[in-house]
């Protein structure tokens, strides 16, 4: 296997070179308190990613009699990436949102399951392997179907699912034991069963219709796989000779207009509007088709637009969907003039063998030479391209398989619309997508499910060589039918087409949980079944436990491709599966998922769509290497406000890496103190950790406050995640950790961590215990968004002996604690204190007080009586905090401003006023210069204002508010001038 394959090798081994899986044994190792000095995400993330997978921490076994379903199930099906895919920023975003919810629910005690897998991606994978075969100088046709398909399997075994490897490294907490591939045997059985049932129900039919044909991929593709682009092309006007009574050309012409002249070789008529007076006299006449010589009729049809071109259109049923419908109405034949590669076939006479565009040129030239080209006009039209290979799609008559979509669509509409009680079986977030979905579903066309590919689920239908009828095999048939079910002939051959990839992925919500082969185990799924033990009862343990899934998180781009089809197929097939208690399944329980969350797009920092051609693609793996997975996840979460695309900016990621660093440093501070405490015999009992911290009524203010803050934060985070407000959750956690915990609480708690000989040991221990408790709880709060650093530090908190294998298995901070411990009085008092300290710090800065210098503070006595808070008492009780955080030497109270002596700058702090006592050392000469300049400037300002205000013409014309503003400016300048003059006079000589 040579060059081209290397490009598709899984990337994570190359990107994250590190220890091999088995040389690393963290579980046995103790995680010590002494963390490395600096936070290095790559050093910790690889290690934990491997540990989580190796320890199989996120497996959700099939429920058994011994471990029946308890608690709420929360199940997410990962949108299966293409087996050929690599992880891009959109994936990382989608996976981060899913993982946050999954981790959060798991910690809340739900029975969570996140199912990973890959899609065989028919066209994409076949194209990729085909290119390899071609690079070796062969074609897939030379290899033959069987050898080619084996070659694709070979490729998949070596390189498939690189994206899942990347997901492992990024810590996605999926159940790896349930990983599936859409071509797995059990999933293929589901595909066959679904096909057979729909066929038997008369909902699958086969016939010749116009399809979108890709000449490169040589297959039909669905309407959804065609992308339209505006193109500047031409409208050719061609003269078709009218045949006279005598069978010879009458000399009259009918001019038609077309954008695709090459298809005229397949014309079978020309149509005009029945009321078009220009052509009434031609009714019943025939035309001679130029270049071909055949006679074709003129038909009348109201569909023809009199305003388009000349009002006469050629009819080519084999190459245009509208013409096809016209042909059906008028019982016209269809002449297909192109082969699978869009070359003209034998029907095209002398043009046979030419590529469609070469033929176009030749035909136009020949028409011109024969004087039949009436004109060429510029014309802009929408041209369809194959979504996969960008080749221009050729609408073409072709025999295909279709799903008669109506009854399926009806159910899929009912599942999303509110029922009589106003309930919806499936809820969309953001809500606007419900309308988009319904609009599409209400206008849906039959679904062309056959593809002329080799890679995929081959259609389980056999054609009989004798009676020509079709035999569709049920999956139970061993292994394929050998005789026609109609006439018994053994001359049967299997259909060569495969099914549209979305046919199998549309079945995933039912098929990954065992439908229809209840009784057989899903390969790799752990645990014996409690029911399928040979007593003849089908095993539906997985289906009963996990269907319907709870939530689908996906992008808008596959709303119709996948989401809509899962709803159609899921509702259709699960209806027959009774509920666990044997009762019939309602529509509400037939849906594949109860909620759909459509996430935003990740764009570049300038809000441009990322694209390879623009070269602005941000590779998530590169950003992760630089800043760590946690910081990237936090960035994505913090920007995920509903309905708004994300403008991904690494500057923010850098900021969140600094946030992680802050937490790391907080942990180091904490561990240093834990170790120092241990030296004098103070230890924190690990059994007090793991729950929601509480504070005693007589605990110091900061303790009661931080506990109350933690509870309030937990309440808000839970609420935000409940509503998919990842941005709010991230912002609340950030504010708590950085602001409340690090900036305030840690600074204050330093006062309490007294390890001296005179220390009150009980107080020190109480302070240390609360500190560790709050930090441990905050790590659990953070864990769903930043799983790696929280895991590392959590193990360190327990000194390598944690109560569970992972913080992901610890419990989340619960919602209802908030009301139990809410402490509005502590929160109110702390706000007053913070306000005072903030103003004092600002005042120090304004007055250039050197950082190391402590200064006296004077406070005006005041008392406000909210929550029983007396401000004097507040200051007195917490004077140590004020002194430490604002660098204050002494605090004295004054009754009124004028009772305090000296030149003081009074500042309002909300509940009172404060002043710092500080005699600024100044450079008198420099200050004199500055004041002189200031005086000159203000004099100039006043003069300017006076001039304008003295101008009668100006005053007449200027709007009142301008004049008013000017007066204010003058007053301001006057005030500043007086102050500067006063200051100058006060300067010592
Ligand atoms: Zn194509
Ligand atoms: Zn037969």
Classify the phi-psi angles of 611: left when phi > 0, otherwise alpha if psi is within -120 to 50, otherwise beta: beta
| C-alpha of residue 189 to centroid of ligand 1, in Å | 28
| C-alpha of residue 398 to centroid of ligand 1, in Å | 16
Cα separation, 679 vs 974, in Å, equals: 65
Ligand with the closest atom to the CA of 388: 1
* Sequence-separated (6 or more) residues with CB below 8 Å from residue 780: 107, 790, 794, 807, 810, 811, 812, 813
Contact 149, 455 (CB under 8 A): yes
pLDDT at 921 over 80: no
pLDDT at 7 over 60: no
Cα separation, 104 vs 857, in Å, equals: 47
| C-alpha of residue 393 to centroid of ligand 1, in Å | 8
Ligand with the closest atom to the CA of 386: 1
| C-alpha of residue 388 to centroid of ligand 1, in Å | 5
| C-alpha of residue 454 to centroid of ligand 1, in Å | 14
| C-alpha of residue 236 to centroid of ligand 1, in Å | 27
Residue 343 phi, psi (nearest 5): -100, 150
Cα separation, 832 vs 843, in Å, equals: 17
**Could you tell me the pLDDT band of residue 14, with boundaries at 50, 70 and 90?**
very low
Ligand with the closest atom to the CA of 392: 1
- Nearest alpha carbon to residue 791 among 55, 22, 4, 1: 55
**Could you tell me the pLDDT band of residue 533, with boundaries at 50, 70 and 90?**
very low
Cα separation, 99 vs 11, in Å, equals: 21
Ligand with the closest atom to the CA of 124: 1
**Could you tell me the pLDDT band of residue 120, with boundaries at 50, 70 and 90?**
very high
**Per-residue confidence (pLDDT) for residue 705, from 0 to 100:** 93
Please tell me which residue, 694 or 589, carries the higher pLDDT value: 589
Q: Identify the sign of the CA torsion 922, 926, 929, 930.
A: negative
| C-alpha of residue 123 to centroid of ligand 1, in Å | 8
The two three-digit tokens of residue 193, written as one number: 């069963």
- Nearest alpha carbon to residue 718 among 801, 669, 781, 651: 781
| C-alpha of residue 157 to centroid of ligand 1, in Å | 25
| C-alpha of residue 491 to centroid of ligand 2, in Å | 8
* Mean pLDDT rounded to a whole number for the chain: 87
| C-alpha of residue 485 to centroid of ligand 2, in Å | 7
Ligand with the closest atom to the CA of 216: 1
Strand 180-181 to strand 269-272: parallel, antiparallel, or no bridges (unpaired)?
A: unpaired
| C-alpha of residue 19 to centroid of ligand 1, in Å | 42
| C-alpha of residue 197 to centroid of ligand 2, in Å | 20
| C-alpha of residue 477 to centroid of ligand 2, in Å | 17
Each residue's pLDDT tens digit, 769-782: 999 999 999 999 99
Contact 259, 381 (CB under 8 A): yes
Cα separation, 489 vs 425, in Å, equals: 48
Mean pLDDT of all residues in 695-711: 90
| C-alpha of residue 177 to centroid of ligand 2, in Å | 44
Distance of CA 786 to the CA centre of its chain: 17
Ligand with the closest atom to the CA of 340: 1
| C-alpha of residue 225 to centroid of ligand 1, in Å | 9
Ligand with the closest atom to the CA of 492: 2
Burial code (b: 16+ CB inside 10 Å, e: under 16) for 288-322 equals: bbbbbeeebebbbbeebeeeebbbbbbbbbbbbeb
| C-alpha of residue 384 to centroid of ligand 1, in Å | 11
| Structure letter (DSSP) for residue 11 | S
Cα separation, 605 vs 652, in Å, equals: 10
| C-alpha of residue 494 to centroid of ligand 2, in Å | 13
Ligand with the closest atom to the CA of 214: 1
| Structure letter (DSSP) for residue 213 | E
| C-alpha of residue 389 to centroid of ligand 1, in Å | 4
Ligand with the closest atom to the CA of 488: 2
| C-alpha of residue 881 to centroid of ligand 1, in Å | 71
Cα separation, 197 vs 507, in Å, equals: 13
Ligand with the closest atom to the CA of 485: 2
Please tell me which residue, 925 or 631, carries the higher pLDDT value: 631
| C-alpha of residue 122 to centroid of ligand 1, in Å | 12
| C-alpha of residue 257 to centroid of ligand 1, in Å | 28
| C-alpha of residue 213 to centroid of ligand 1, in Å | 8
| C-alpha of residue 141 to centroid of ligand 2, in Å | 29
Each residue's pLDDT tens digit, 276-315: 999 988 888 999 999 988 999 999 999 998 888 788 999 9
pTM of the model: 0.82
**Could you tell me the pLDDT band of residue 519, with boundaries at 50, 70 and 90?**
low
pLDDT at 569 over 60: yes
Ligand with the closest atom to the CA of 489: 2
Ligand with the closest atom to the CA of 470: 2
Protein residues within 5 Å, CB atom, of ion ligand 2 = 464, 466-467, 484, 486-487, 489
Q: Which residue has the tokens 């207009």?
A: 257
**Per-residue confidence (pLDDT) for residue 611, from 0 to 100:** 81
Mean pLDDT of all residues in 549-576: 94
| C-alpha of residue 414 to centroid of ligand 2, in Å | 40
| C-alpha of residue 569 to centroid of ligand 1, in Å | 26
**Per-residue confidence (pLDDT) for residue 476, from 0 to 100:** 66
Each residue's pLDDT tens digit, 341-356: 999 999 999 999 999 9
Ligand with the closest atom to the CA of 493: 2
Cα separation, 189 vs 185, in Å, equals: 6
| C-alpha of residue 495 to centroid of ligand 2, in Å | 14
**Per-residue confidence (pLDDT) for residue 478, from 0 to 100:** 62
- Nearest alpha carbon to residue 609 among 554, 553, 556, 552: 556
Q: Which residue has the tokens 């327990």?
A: 798
Helix (H, G, I), strand (E, B) or coil at 241: strand
Protein residues within 5 Å, CB atom, of ion ligand 1 = 214, 216-217, 386, 388-389, 391
Ligand with the closest atom to the CA of 341: 1
| C-alpha of residue 888 to centroid of ligand 2, in Å | 100
Contact 101, 76 (CB under 8 A): yes
Report in angstroms the alpha-carbon separations of 965 from 495, 712, 805.
Answer: 85, 45, 68
Helix (H, G, I), strand (E, B) or coil at 235: strand
**Per-residue confidence (pLDDT) for residue 861, from 0 to 100:** 83
| C-alpha of residue 486 to centroid of ligand 2, in Å | 5
- Count, in order, helices (H) and strands (E) of the chain: 33, 29
Ligand with the closest atom to the CA of 212: 1
pLDDT at 696 over 70: yes
| C-alpha of residue 407 to centroid of ligand 2, in Å | 30
Out of 508-522, 699-713, 783-797, least confident range: 508-522
* Sequence-separated (6 or more) residues with CB below 8 Å from residue 778: 710, 736, 737, 741
Ligand with the closest atom to the CA of 464: 2
pLDDT over 70 for what percent of the chain?
91
Please tell me which residue, 79 or 962, carries the higher pLDDT value: 79
Contact 235, 309 (CB under 8 A): yes
pLDDT at 472 over 90: yes
Mean pLDDT of all residues in 718-737: 96
Helix (H, G, I), strand (E, B) or coil at 215: coil
| C-alpha of residue 516 to centroid of ligand 2, in Å | 28
Residue 788 phi, psi (nearest 5): -80, -55
| Structure letter (DSSP) for residue 558 | G
| C-alpha of residue 415 to centroid of ligand 1, in Å | 34
């Amino acid at each position: 296997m040579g060059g081209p394959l290397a490009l598709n090798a899984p990337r994570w081994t190359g990107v994250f070179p590190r220890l091999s899986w088995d040389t690393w044994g963290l579980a046995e190792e103790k995680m010590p308190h002494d963390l490395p000095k600096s936070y290095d995400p790559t050093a910790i993330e690889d290690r934990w990613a491997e540990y989580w997978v190796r320890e199989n921490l996120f497996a959700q076994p099939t429920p058994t009699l011994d471990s029946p379903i308890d608690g709420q199930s929360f199940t997410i099906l990962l949108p299966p990436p293409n087996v050929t895919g690599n992880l891009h920023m959109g994936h990382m975003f989608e996976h981060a949102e899913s993982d946050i919810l999954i981790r959060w629910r798991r910690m809340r005690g739900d029975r969570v399951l996140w199912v990973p897998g890959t899609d065989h991606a028919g066209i994409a994978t076949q194209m990729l392997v085909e290119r390899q075969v071609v690079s070796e100088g062969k074609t897939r046709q030379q290899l033959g179907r069987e050898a080619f398909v084996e070659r694709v399997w070979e490729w998949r075994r070596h390189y498939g699912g690189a994206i899942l490897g990347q997901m492992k490294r990024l810590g996605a907490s999926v159940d790896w034991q349930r990983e599936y591939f859409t071509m797995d045997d059990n999933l293929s059985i589901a595909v066959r069963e679904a096909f057979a049932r729909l066929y038997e129900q008369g909902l699958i039919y086969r016939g010749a219709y116009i399809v979108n044909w890709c000449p490169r991929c040589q297959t039909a593709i669905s309407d959804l796989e065609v992308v339209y682009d505006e193109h500047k092309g031409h409208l050719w006007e061609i003269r078709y000779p009218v045949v006279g009574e005598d069978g010879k050309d009458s000399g009259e012409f009918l001019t038609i207009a077309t954008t695709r002249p090459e298809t005229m070789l397949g014309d079978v008529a020309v149509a005009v509007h029945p009321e078009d007076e220009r052509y009434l006299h031609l009714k019943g006449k025939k035309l001679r088709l130029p270049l071909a010589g055949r006679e074709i009729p003129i038909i009348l049809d109201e569909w023809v637009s009199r305003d388009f071109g000349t009002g006469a259109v050629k009819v080519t049923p084999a190459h245009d969907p509208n013409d096809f419908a016209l042909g059906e109405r008028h019982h016209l034949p269809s002449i297909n003039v192109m082969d699978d590669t869009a070359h003209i076939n034998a029907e095209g006479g002398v043009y046979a063998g030419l590529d469609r565009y070469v033929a176009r040129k030749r035909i136009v030239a020949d028409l011109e030479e024969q004087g039949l080209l009436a004109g060429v006009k510029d014309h802009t039209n929408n041209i369809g391209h194959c979504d996969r290979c960008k080749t221009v799609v050729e609408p073409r008559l072709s025999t295909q398989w279709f799903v008669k979509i109506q009854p399926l669509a009806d159910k899929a509409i009912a599942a999303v619309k509110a029922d009589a009680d106003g309930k919806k079986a499936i809820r969309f977030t953001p809500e606007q997508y419900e309308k988009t979905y319904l609009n599409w579903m209400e206008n849906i066309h039959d679904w062309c499910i056959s593809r002329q590919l080799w890679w995929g689920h081959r259609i389980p239908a056999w054609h009989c060589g004798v009676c020509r009828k079709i035999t569709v095999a049920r999956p139970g048939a061993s292994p394929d039918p050998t005789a026609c079910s109609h006439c018994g002939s053994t001359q049967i051959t299997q259909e060569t087409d495969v099914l549209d990839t979305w046919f199998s992925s549309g079945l995933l919500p039912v098929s990954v949980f065992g439908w229809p082969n209840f009784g057989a185990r899903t390969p790799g799924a752990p645990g014996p079944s409690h029911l399928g033990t040979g007593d003849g009862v089908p095993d539906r343990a997985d289906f009963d436990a996990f269907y319907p899934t709870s939530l689908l998180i996906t992008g808008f781009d596959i709303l119709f491709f996948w989401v809509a089809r899962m709803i159609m197929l899921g509702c259709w097939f699960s209806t027959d599966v009774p509920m666990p208690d044997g009762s019939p399944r309602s529509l509400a329980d037939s849906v594949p998922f109860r909620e759909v969350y459509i996430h935003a797009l990740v764009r570049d920092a300038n809000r441009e769509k990322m694209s390879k051609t623009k070269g602005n693609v941000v590779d998530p793996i590169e950003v992760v290497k630089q800043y760590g997975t946690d910081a990237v996840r936090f960035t994505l979460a913090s920007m995920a406000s509903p309905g708004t695309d994300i403008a991904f900016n690494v500057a923010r990621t850098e900021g969140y890496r600094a946030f992680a660093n802050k937490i790391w440093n907080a942990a180091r501070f904490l561990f240093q103190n834990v170790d120092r405490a241990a030296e004098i015999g103070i230890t924190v009992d690990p059994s007090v950790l793991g729950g929601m911290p509480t504070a005693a009524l007589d605990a110091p203010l900061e303790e009661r406050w931080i506990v109350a803050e933690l509870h309030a934060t937990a309440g808000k985070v839970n609420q935000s995640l409940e509503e998919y407000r990842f941005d709010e959750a991230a912002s609340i956690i950030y504010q708590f950790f950085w602001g409340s915990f690090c900036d305030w609480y840690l600074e204050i708690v330093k006062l309490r961590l007294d390890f001296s000989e005179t220390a009150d040991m009980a107080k020190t221990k109480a302070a240390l215990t609360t500190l560790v408790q709050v930090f441990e709880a905050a790590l659990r709060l953070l864990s769903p968004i930043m799983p790696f650093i929280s895991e590392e530090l959590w193990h360190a908190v327990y000194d390598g002996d944690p109560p569970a294998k992972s913080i992901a298995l610890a419990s989340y901070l619960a919602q209802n604690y908030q009301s139990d411990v809410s402490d509005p009085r502590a929160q109110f008092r702390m706000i007053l204190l913070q306000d005072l300290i903030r103003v004092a710090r600002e005042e120090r800065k304004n007055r250039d007080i050197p950082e190391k210098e402590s200064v006296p503070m004077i406070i005006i006595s005041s008392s406000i009586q909210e929550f029983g808070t007396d401000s004097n008492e507040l200051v007195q009780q917490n004077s140590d905090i004020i002194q430490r955080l604002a660098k204050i030497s002494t605090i004295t109270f004054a009754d009124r401003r004028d009772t305090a002596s000296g030149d003081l700058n009074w500042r309002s702090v909300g509940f009172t006023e404060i002043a710092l006592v500080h005699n600024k050392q100044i450079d008198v000469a420099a200050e004199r210069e500055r004041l002189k300049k200031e005086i000159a400037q203000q004099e100039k300002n006043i003069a300017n204002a006076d001039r304008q205000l003295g101008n009668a013409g100006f005053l007449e014309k200027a709007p009142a508010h301008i004049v008013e503003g000017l007066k204010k400016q003058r007053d301001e300048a006057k005030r500043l001038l007086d102050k500067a003059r006063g200051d100058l006079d006060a300067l010592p000589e």
